[in-house]
A and B are shown apart, each in its own frame.
Chain A
Amino acid sequence: MILYGGKLYPTEKQSELLERLEMRINHTLIYGRLERETVLSALDSLAERIAIGEFDTLIAAVAPDDVWKYKQAAVTAMKRENLELRLSVELPDSIIAGRTGCLIHSVRPLGTLFHIAAGNAEGLPAMSVLEGLVTGNVNILKLPSADSGLTIRILTELIKAAPELAEYLYVFDTPSSDIEAMRKMADMADGIVVWGGETAIRAVRNLAPAGVKLIEWGHRLGFAYISGYTDEKAELSALAKHIAETGQLLCSSCQTIYIDTYDTGALDVFAAKFLPLLERAAETYLHTDIGAAAQLSVKRYCGRLEASAGLSPRKGRLTFYGSNCSLTVCRDSTPELSDMYANVLVKRLPAKHILPILRRKKGELQTAGLICSPEKRDELTEMLLRSGVNRVMTAGDMSASFTGEAHDGEYPLRRYIRNTDTEIL
């Protein structure tokens, strides 16, 4: 399905529609007047309708277990007060307007954004476009192959609320293999917003014409850092809950638990202490898909057999197996991805070595969940930030989202605009 100028078309119409797209966008760029207020009120009214449950059945069809969670996330992202807060944090008047000497500063949309969205979170493609709209851009969206239809539905509703948005929204269900079509879309864009893993990003870099701005939202790694406790039991339980609840699938999820120690024996002691907490949390958030649960159990079991027979592929690692979870104590300290789904790595990282070790993965780090005694908090936070970490949270809140927060070290809206200067006579 294609959404084009407010109307729906079948996929087969793609090349015909793409042919006319540049002309159409140019027309919008010349004559279009998209008031920010129009966008805000359209989004706010849609948020209202989502909040009262008008879209519950639709959301339930995509994420039956998480209706409330998705609803909450959508409403939070679209509510007027939150959008206004974001605008005031990300694009405050002080950076977007003003005057220096004979220059008038102002902000313009980047122009046309081509969004290549990953399907790793339902609603993400729509959210990416929403940020493009709030900043006044024309948006071309390539849907992820696994899109459930939710994106087009949301955007169609948005156009109903404000018909002038029709000229700012073009959604194609082009497969990533259709390089020719993707290149055409990329050629029309001033900025390409790409969400995804290394492969996706590399592919887009090959596709992008020189001069187009690449806005990459890549995948990241999260970890927890423990150096003493404020309330040990509560903090460790919160960490366990975070690990099990997110399945360690998010950029912000904890993959490795670092302990501030030189002593590997301390890691074993920690693992023995933490395993029962993780087991309890894993029990609560068991994988609902039987095939996935089966695969994880077999993988863990196989790892155990390999260890018994001295056949483990990675030496120097000792795994503590719990039911539906495991903790692997490692000798090295490099941040890395775990096996996920409550299978966590435990490594040592003395405070002195935080920076040199974490720098090995610079550009890939996102969230640190910090557990420590109150007097160490400021110092450790500073060290983590200096090492390239962009978010320092309490362990339980590693994946919580906050209105007005930056994303991977940047304010997204700022990446979708241009700062312009005009000399006055």
Chain B
Amino acid sequence: MDPRSVLFSHPDPYDIKGTDKVFVRAMRECCIYHYKHCGVYRDILDAEGFDPYGIKTPSDIARLPFLPTVFLKRHRIYSMPQYRMPIKATSSGTGGVYSRIGFDTQGLLCGLQMVLKVFGMRGIVSPQPCNYVILGYKPHKGNHTAIAKTAYGYTLLTPAVSRTFALRFTDGEYKPDLEGVARAVVRNSRSPFPTRFIGFPAYTWFMLRLMDEKGMNVKLPKGSKIMLGGGWKQFYKEQVDKTEMYALAKKVLDIDEENIIESYGAAEHPILYCDCKNHHFHIPVYSRVIIRDVNTLKPLRYGQPGLVNLITPMVYGTPIQSIVTDDLGVIHRAEECGCGINSPYLEIIGRAGFTDVKTCAAGAEEILKNAGGDVK
């Protein structure tokens, strides 16, 4: 079996130490593949003086040139002809620019194994039918975002009794319909089957608040869950403390904290990070995470904040085996969590960007705004 398949069929999804060797081998094969098949990637590796055939240890992987997501947003690059990539997913494109990632068939099969294993450990895969409330996009043929595809995919983890979408595509654009969602939740509370909420934390929070303000407090059947993912996006500033959201979910829906499950991932790094019972994102065996110094881009140690470099050999369609996102994060040792999962965990602490820029240089405002910052 090729090393990627070995890695993705490893029985324990958090056995980092036990998979180090196969991870390095899978990365080596993946890098060599992209080096051979993607001219842009080859130019970059050559210019940076990196030889993919020389990947032998984890420290070689740390030296591998990574691609920032902004690079992938500006340049669509593939290592396979289009027909060999059954799925192409785009990032949700905060700020209007998005990347487009191609997935190969075997990579998708690896992904499926991963989802079943990681969610399996959290009791999410089950034969119990559920009502689904998707606090995100209703898929339609013009929407290729990874988040819409993933959210829909999650409704297949159990048999679905019903599906309600918060963002509906009407008159050529997506419109949120939280009131409709709230009504559906009340309806679901009378169903014998549990309800599962899937979607952006911001919309979930808005829904909970709306229901609370209207006094629509319900008791959902046991086994109901809230699955959060996709980050706060444009609602970044309205981000609330997790405990506040947990408390409101208990009050409005009667869902306990342990049934609120958050996941982290990106179109450019399609690995499923699912939080543990202490709500920490432990790193699964399918990826490695390096936190990099914001000035020097050199790897940092545990506990030091920096840019998040996400590494995985899962995808052969687009060279995304080592990417850097806009997130800022910290890696903590497994023992700091205490949930029993023996893998370090990633904490997201913010985003790269300007929060407090003051300028009077002509034209600077526009440039900084486009760069994603707020200009005073």
Tell me the bound Cα distance from A196 to B68 in angstroms: 33
Given A292-B373, A297-B307, A302-B71: A286 and B295 interface contact (C-beta under 8 Å): yes
Whether A295 contacts B373 by the Cβ 8 Å rule is yes
Interface-forming stretch among B26-34, B149-157, B203-211, B345-353? B345-353
What is the number of residues of chain A that contact chain B, defined by CB distance less than 8 Å? Answer: 49
> In the complex the two chains form, is A299's CB within 8 Å of B360's CB?
no
Nearest-CB residue, chain B, relative to A148: B376
Query: In residues 347-371 of chain B, which contact A (Cβ within 8 Å)?
Result: 350-368, 371
Out of A121, A289, A311, name the residue touching B354 (CB < 8 Å).
Answer: A289
B297 touching A301, Cβ below 8 Å: yes
**B47: chain A residues within 8 A (beta carbon):** 308-309
Do residues A295 and B354 form an inter-chain contact, with CB atoms below 8 A?
yes
Interface membership of B70, Cβ < 8 A: yes
Residues of B within 8 A of A253 (CB): 361
Q: How many residues of B contact A (CB 8 A)?
A: 48
A311 B75 Cβ-Cβ under 8 A: yes
Q: Does B80 have its Cβ within 8 Å of any Cβ on chain A?
A: no
With an 8 A cutoff between CB atoms, is B216 at the interface? no
| B360 partner residues in chain A, CB cutoff 8 A | 118, 120-121, 219-220, 249-251
With both beta carbons as reference points, the residue of chain B lying nearest to A200 in the complex is identified as B365
Which residues of B sit under 8 angstroms from A197, Cβ to Cβ? 362-366
Task: Confirm or deny: A388 has a beta carbon within 8 angstroms of a beta carbon on chain B.
Answer: no
Q: How far is the CA of A340 from the CA of B352 in the complex (A)?
A: 16
A10 CB within 8 Å of chain B: no
- From B44, B371, B376, A295 is in contact (CB under 8 Å) with B371
Q: Which residue of the partner chain A has the closest CB to B352?
A: A294
Q: Which of A233-259 contact B (CB under 8 A)?
A: 248-251, 253, 255
Residues of A96-140 at the interface with B, using a CB-CB cut-off of 8 Å, are: 118-122
Q: Which of B362, B371, B375 has the most C-beta atoms of chain A within 10 angstroms of its own C-beta?
A: B362
Q: A290-B328, A309-B44 are in contact. Are A219 and B70 (CB under 8 A)?
A: no
Task: Kindly provide the distance from the CB of B82 to the nearest chain A CB, expressed in whole angstroms.
Answer: 20
In the bound complex, do residue B44 and residue A305 qualify as a contact, i.e. CB atoms below 8 Å apart? Answer: yes
Residues of A within 8 A of B283 (CB): none
A249 touches B324 (CB 8 A): no
Tell me whether B350 and A291 are in contact (CB under 8 A): yes
The yes or no answer to B179 lying at the interface (CB within 8 A) is: no
A337 located at the interface, meaning its Cβ lies under 8 Å from any Cβ of chain B in the complex: yes
Contact: A301 with B352, CB < 8 Å?
Answer: no
Q: Which of B46, B307, B356, B367 contacts A298 (CB 8 A)?
A: B307
Contact with B along A162-199 (1 / 0, CB 8 A): 00000000000000000000000000000000000111
In the complex the two chains form, is B355's CB within 8 Å of A292's CB?
yes
Decide: A144 and B376 in contact? CB cutoff 8 A. Answer: yes
Given A144-B376, A291-B328: A311 and B362 within 8 A (CB)? no
| Contact of B52 with A by CB under 8 A | no
Q: Which of A281-296 contact B (CB under 8 A)?
A: 286, 289-295
A374 within 8 A of B: no
Tell me the nearest residue of chain B to A249, going by C-beta: B359
Is the Cβ of A298 less than 8 Å from the Cβ of B359?
no
In the complex, residue of chain A having the shortest beta-carbon distance to the beta carbon of B77? A309
Known interface pairs A299-B70, A302-B68; A290-B361 also in contact (CB < 8 Å): no
Contacts of B43 in A (CB 8 A): 308-310
Closest CB-CB distance, B115 to chain A, in whole Å? Answer: 29
B306 sits at the interface (CB 8 A): yes
The answer, yes or no, to whether A339 is at the interface (CB within 8 Å) is yes
- Which has the most chain A C-beta neighbours within 10 Å: B48, B361, B365? B361
The residues in B between 44 and 88 inclusive whose CB is less than 8 angstroms from any CB of A are 44, 46-48, 65, 67-68, 70-71, 74-75
Alpha-carbon separation in the docked complex, A313 to B370 (Å): 16
| A143 to B245 Cα, complex, angstroms | 35
Q: How far is the CA of A339 from the CA of B373 in the complex (A)?
A: 14
CB pair B361–A337 under 8 Å, yes or no, is yes
Q: Which residues of B contact A219 (CB under 8 A)?
A: 359-365
Contact indicator A120/B297 (Cβ below 8 Å): no
Q: Does A81 contact B (CB under 8 A)?
A: no
- Judged by a CB distance under 8 angstroms, whether A324 is at the interface is yes
Docked CA distance A295–B75 (Å): 18
User: Is B294 close to A, CB under 8 A?
Assistant: yes
- Bound CA span A343–B324, Å: 21
Query: Which residues of chain A come closer than 8 Å to B357, judged between CB atoms?
Result: 249, 292
Q: Determine whether B270 belongs to the interface, using a CB cutoff of 8 Å to chain A.
A: no
Residue among A118, A219, A255, A297 with the highest chain B CB neighbour number at 10 A: A297
- Indicate if the CB atoms of B354 and A292 lie closer than 8 Å: yes
Instruction: Indicate if the CB atoms of A291 and B40 lie closer than 8 Å.
Output: no
A5 on the interface (CB 8 Å rule)?
no
- Chain A residues closer than 8 Å to B93, beta-carbon distance: none
B372 part of interface (Cβ distance < 8 Å): yes
The distance in angstroms between the C-alpha atoms of A181 and B328, with both chains bound, is: 41
Contacting pair A293 B295 (CB below 8 A): yes
User: Contact between A339 and B367 (Cβ–Cβ < 8 Å)?
Assistant: yes
B243: interface (CB < 8 Å): no
Which residue of A121, A220, A248, A293 is within 8 Å of B294 (Cβ)? A293
Contact call A249/B48, Cβ cutoff below 8 A:
no
Complex: A302 Cα to B295 Cα, angstroms: 14
Known: A120-B376, A295-B371. A255 touches B361 (CB 8 A): yes
B94 in contact (CB, < 8 A): no
A270 CB, min distance to chain B CBs, angstroms: 22
Which residue of chain B has its CB nearest to the CB of A292? B354
A199 touches B365 (CB 8 A): yes
B362: A residues at CB distance < 8 A:
197-198, 218-221, 251, 337, 364
Bound Cα distance A146, B368 (Å) = 16
Contacts of A306 in B (CB 8 A): 71, 74-75
Q: Decide if A323 is an interface residue (CB 8 Å cutoff).
A: yes
State whether A295 and B68 are in contact (beta carbons under 8 Å apart), knowing that A219-B362, A323-B295, A337-B362 are contacts in the complex.
no
Residues of B within 8 A of A145 (CB): 376
* B305 contacts partner chain A, Cβ-Cβ < 8 Å: yes
**B278 located at the interface, meaning its Cβ lies under 8 Å from any Cβ of chain A in the complex:** no
Would you call B296 an interface residue if the criterion is a C-beta within 8 Å of the partner chain's C-beta atoms? yes
* Cα-based distance from A290 to B180 in the complex (angstroms): 41
Residues of A within 8 A of B (CB): 118-122, 144-146, 197-199, 218-222, 248-251, 253, 255, 286, 289-295, 297-299, 301-302, 305-306, 308-311, 313, 323-324, 336-337, 339-340, 364
Q: Please, could you name 10 A-B residue pairs with CB atoms under 8 Å apart, sorted by A?
A: A144-B376, A145-B376, A253-B361, A290-B294, A290-B306, A298-B326, A305-B44, A309-B41, A311-B74, A313-B74
Q: Which 8 A-B pairs have the closest CB atoms?
A: A308-B47, A294-B352, A146-B376, A249-B359, A219-B362, A294-B294, A119-B376, A295-B352
In addition to A198-B363, A295-B354, 4 A-B residue pairs with Cβ atoms within 8 Å of each other are A220-B360, A221-B362, A249-B360, A340-B361
